[in-house]
Structure 1
């Protein structure tokens, strides 16, 4: 199990990492239905919506986003809509911090 986790973490660090729905389910220990709910909430987006769900591919940062949502739900009892908002706000903060000059 640890080897699989290390492989996933290594792939996330690659800019062009892609995960299938099945791989994302495995790496986050979720059912496909749970990930489809996250797609519906806008938490993660498949790279090409035109494909069938079984052919969907997700960017490497999707793993981080899904795991963040899982922690928010588990640790704070946040519902899926609230977790979606929190993840968006975290992204906004990261973006703003990236634009602040360091001096």
Structure 2
């Protein structure tokens, strides 16, 4: 007997914003984890204090990748920030045809 898995997704647009509470709920993490990732420069938050923070689609995507890097490879927040910055730089480079 095959076990079925239910997948869900979120459509992200330029108006997409999540609060700290919402992003923690969606990613199933503690606020302290998000606060650490903001402090380390892994993700950016709009607002001055955690209670005012809003996270856009780019921050949400970076957070999800950073959490996977930590979970799957044991990468710390500083390493995750470096990996994410390098991935973004690769995506900006023109694709060469060889």
Mapped to 1, the partners of 2:93 and 2:26 lie a distance apart of 29
Tell me whether 1:61 sits opposite 2:58 in the alignment.
yes
Question: Residue 46 of structure 2 aligns with which residue?
Answer: 47
Distance 2:14 2:28 in 1: 23
Q: Which residue of 1 aligns with 2:3?
A: none
More helix by share: 1
Aligned residues: CA RMSD? 1.9
- Aligned equivalents of 2:76, 2:65: Cα separation in 1: 13
Distance 1:48 1:55 in 2: 5
Structure 2 residue 51 is matched with structure 1 residue 83: no
Check if 1:18 corresponds to 2:17.
Answer: yes
Q: CA deviation at 1:73?
A: 1.0
Listed as ranges, the gaps of 5+ residues in structure 1 are none
Number of residue pairs the alignment of both structures matches:
92
Structure 1 residue ranges (4+ consecutive) displaced by more than 6 angstroms after TM superposition: none
Paired position in structure 2 for 1:37: 36
**Structure 1 length-normalised TM:** 0.78
State the shift of 1:101 in Å. Answer: 7.4
Where does structure 2 lack aligned partners over 5 or more consecutive residues?
1-5
